[in-house]
C-alpha cells in the first residue's frame, strides 16, 4: 500500500510539472542509470581482473622464493634466507608477509622478526603432490591471499606468502572515482543539452497555447508562428488552418444570424401585412357581401308576392356563391387545402397551373416516383413553400420564357428542381453579407430546407438561367417507384 501511495504521488507530480522538467528529468535519470551501470560493471570486472593478477603474482613470487631458498635450506644458510625474505618483501609492494619453514613446519626465516601471528602457520598448508595452495584469509587489514608452495616437493620445506588487496582497492577506487566524475560531467552536459532542446521544443508549444487561448476568447486574427518544418511546425500549420476554418465558420454564423434576424423581422412583418390584407378584404369584400346578403334577405322577407320572392332568392343564391368563392380564395392563399387533402404532388401541380396562368410563362411540371408516396407533413410543407418562393422569384427577377419544375423520389430522399432560362445572377455576390436584405428570400429557402434536414443548392450565372436544387432525406422504409 505504501508503494502504491508513493507511486500515486509520483504520478501526480509528473503530471503537474512542465515538459521541460520531464525531459530534463528523463535525461538526468537515464544518464545516471547508464553511468552507474557502467561504473558497477567496470568496477566488478576490474576487481576480478586485478584479483586474478594478484593471485598469479603471489604464485609466481612464491615459486621464485621456493626455487631460491632450496639451496639455502639445504646448506642451512639462514642469513641468506632472511635476506631473501627481506628482499622479496621490499621489492613487491603487494606482498604483506613471507616466511619459509623447514620440512617439519618450523619457521626458518620470516618477515615478522621471528614473531609469527598466532594461527598463521596452521592457516594454510600444501600436502601431497599439489604444487601450491591458495587461501584467502580474513584479517584486520582486509583479505589476504595466502599461497603455500612446497620446496623440493616438501622435502626441503615450504614457502608461505601473503598478498594484500590494499593497492588493488586503491586502483579500483581511482577508476571508480573517475567514472563517477565522468558520469556527473556527462549528466551535467546532458542537462544543458536537454534544457536547450526543451527550450526549442517548448517555445512553439507555449505559443500554440497562447494562440489557442486567444482564439478561445474570440481573437481569430491570431496565428501561430511556424518555427521549423518538423512535426511541431506541421502542427502549427494545421493549427493555423483550423483557426482559418473557425474564423470562416464564425463569420458565416454571424452572417447567418444577421440574415436570420432579418428573415424573422420579414416574417413578422409579412404576417402582419397578411393579417392586414385579410382583414381589409374581409372588411371590404366579405363584409360588404354579407351586408348585401342581409339586405337581400330583408327584401326577400318584404317581397309582396311569391314571384318577387323567387327573384330575390335567385339574386341571394348568386351573392352566396360569390361569397363562397371569396372565402375559398382567402383560405387557399393562407394554406392550400389540396396539400392536406391530396398531398404534395397534386397541390404543387395546381399551384404551377395557377402560376402559369397568372404569369403567362410556359411551365413544365413533372413528378417521378411520388404518385403513391406518403411523405411527412413537414417535408411536404417545406418543399411546397420552397417551390412557391422559387417561382415567385422567377416571376419577379428572372425575365424568362420557360420554367421547369421536377419532383422526384430517389433512394432515400425527395428532390425538387426548379429551373428557368432567364437572365440569372451571381450567386456568391447576391447571397453575400452586403446584400443580406435582398437575399432574405433565398435565405428563407435555405432555412426551410435545413429545418427538415435537407440541403438547398442554387446554380446560376448571368444570362445563363437559374437552377434551384432541393434534397430532403426521408426514411427508406417508405416504398417508392424507381
The C-alpha cell at 233 is 511546425
Give SS3 for 471: strand
DSSP character string of 151-182: ETTTTSEEEEEEEESHHHHHHHHHHHHHHHHH
CATH 3.30.450.20 domain locations along the chain: 18-176
- 32 CB contacts (<8 Å, ≥6 apart)? 183, 187
* Residues facing residue 97 across a β-bridge: 162
Q: Of 396, 405, 273, 392, which Cα lies nearest the Cα of 347?
A: 405
The answer to whether 175 touches 42, Cβ cutoff 8 Å, is yes
| Angle, helices 306-334/231-281, rounded to nearest 10 degrees | 170
One pLDDT digit (tens) per residue for the chain, 482 residues: 677 777 676 666 656 667 777 777 888 888 889 999 999 999 999 999 999 999 999 999 999 999 999 998 888 888 999 999 999 999 998 999 999 998 888 888 999 888 888 888 888 888 767 889 999 999 888 899 999 999 988 888 899 999 999 999 999 999 999 999 999 999 888 888 888 877 777 777 777 777 878 877 777 777 777 766 777 777 778 878 888 888 888 777 777 777 666 666 665 565 556 566 566 666 556 666 676 767 667 666 666 777 767 776 777 777 777 777 777 666 666 666 667 777 888 888 888 888 898 888 899 999 888 765 678 888 888 888 899 889 988 988 888 989 999 999 888 899 999 999 988 888 877 776 565 555 667 877 888 888 888 999 999 888 888 999 999 998 764 444 33
Pure H helices in 75-230:
78-91, 166-216
The answer to whether 392 touches 354, Cβ cutoff 8 Å, is no
Task: Indicate yes or no: pTM above 0.85.
Answer: no
Question: How many Å is the Cα radius of gyration of the chain?
Answer: 56
| CATH T-level fold of 18-176 | Beta-Lactamase (3.30.450)
| CATH T-level fold of 340-482 | Heat Shock Protein 90 (3.30.565)
* Residues facing residue 162 across a β-bridge: 97, 146
DSSP character string of 34-56: HHHHHHHHHHHHHHHHHHHHHHH
Amino acid at each position: 500500500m505504501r508503494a502504491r501511495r508513493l507511486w500515486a504521488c509520483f504520478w501526480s507530480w509528473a503530471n503537474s510539472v512542465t515538459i521541460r522538467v520531464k525531459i530534463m528529468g528523463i535525461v538526468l535519470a537515464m544518464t545516471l542509470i547508464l553511468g552507474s551501470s557502467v561504473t558497477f560493471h567496470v568496477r566488478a570486472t576490474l576487481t576480478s581482473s586485478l584479483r586474478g593478477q594478484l593471485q598469479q603474482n603471489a604464485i609466481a613470487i612464491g615459486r621464485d622464493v621456493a626455487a631460491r631458498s632450496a639451496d639455502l635450506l639445504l646448506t642451512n644458510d639462514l642469513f641468506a634466507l632472511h635476506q631473501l625474505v627481506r628482499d622479496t618483501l621490499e621489492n613487491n609492494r603487494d606482498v604483506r608477509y613471507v616466511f619459509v619453514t623447514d620440512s617439519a613446519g618450523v619457521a626458518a626465516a620470516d618477515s615478522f622478526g621471528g614473531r609469527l601471528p598466532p594461527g598463521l602457520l596452521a592457516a594454510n598448508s600444501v600436502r601431497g603432490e599439489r604444487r601450491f595452495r591458495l587461501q584467502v584469509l580474513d584479517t584486520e587489514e582486509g583479505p589476504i591471499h595466502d599461497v603455500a608452495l612446497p620446496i623440493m616437493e616438501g622435502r626441503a620445506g615450504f614457502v608461505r606468502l601473503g598478498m594484500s588487496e590494499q593497492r588493488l582497492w586503491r586502483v579500483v577506487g581511482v577508476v571508480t572515482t573517475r567514472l563517477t566524475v565522468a558520469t556527473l560531467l556527462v549528466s551535467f552536459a546532458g542537462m544543458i543539452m536537454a534544457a536547450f532542446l526543451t527550450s526549442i521544443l517548448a517555445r512553439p508549444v507555449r505559443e500554440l497555447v497562447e494562440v489557442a487561448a486567444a482564439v478561445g476568447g474570440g481573437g481569430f486574427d491570431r496565428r501561430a508562428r511556424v518555427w521549423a518544418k518538423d512535426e511541431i511546425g506541421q502542427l502549427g500549420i494545421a493549427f493555423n488552418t483550423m483557426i482559418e476554418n473557425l474564423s470562416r465558420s464564425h463569420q458565416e454564423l454571424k452572417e447567418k444570424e444577421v440574415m436570420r434576424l432579418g428573415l424573422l423581422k420579414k416574417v413578422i412583418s409579412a404576417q402582419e401585412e397578411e393579417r392586414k390584407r385579410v382583414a381589409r378584404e374581409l372588411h371590404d369584400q366579405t363584409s360588404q357581401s354579407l351586408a348585401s346578403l342581409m339586405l337581400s334577405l330583408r327584401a326577400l322577407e318584404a317581397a309582396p308576392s311569391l314571384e318577387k320572392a323567387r327573384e330575390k332568392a335567385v339574386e341571394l343564391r348568386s351573392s352566396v356563391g360569390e361569397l363562397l368563392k371569396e372565402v375559398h380564395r382567402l383560405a387557399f392563399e393562407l394554406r392550400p387545402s389540396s396539400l392536406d387533402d391530396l398531398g404534395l404532388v397534386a397541390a404543387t401541380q395546381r399551384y404551377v397551373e395557377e402560376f402559369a396562368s397568372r404569369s403567362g410563362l410556359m411551365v413544365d411540371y413533372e413528378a417521378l416516383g411520388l404518385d403513391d408516396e406518403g411523405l411527412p407533413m413537414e417535408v411536404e410543407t417545406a418543399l411546397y413553400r420552397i417551390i412557391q418562393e422559387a417561382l415567385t422569384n422567377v416571376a419577379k427577377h428572372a425575365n424568362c420564357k420557360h420554367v421547369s419544375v421536377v419532383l422526384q423520389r430517389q433512394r432515400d430522399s425527395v428532390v425538387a428542381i426548379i429551373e428557368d432560362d432567364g437572365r440569372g445572377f451571381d450567386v456568391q455576390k447576391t447571397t453575400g453579407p452586403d446584400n443580406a436584405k435582398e437575399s432574405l428570400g433565398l435565405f428563407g429557402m435555405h432555412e426551410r430546407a435545413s429545418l427538415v434536414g435537407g440541403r438547398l443548392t442554387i446554380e446560376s450565372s448571368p444570362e445563363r438561367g437559374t437552377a434551384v436544387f432541393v434534397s430532403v432525406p426521408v426514411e427508406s422504409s417508405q416504398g417508392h417507384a424507381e
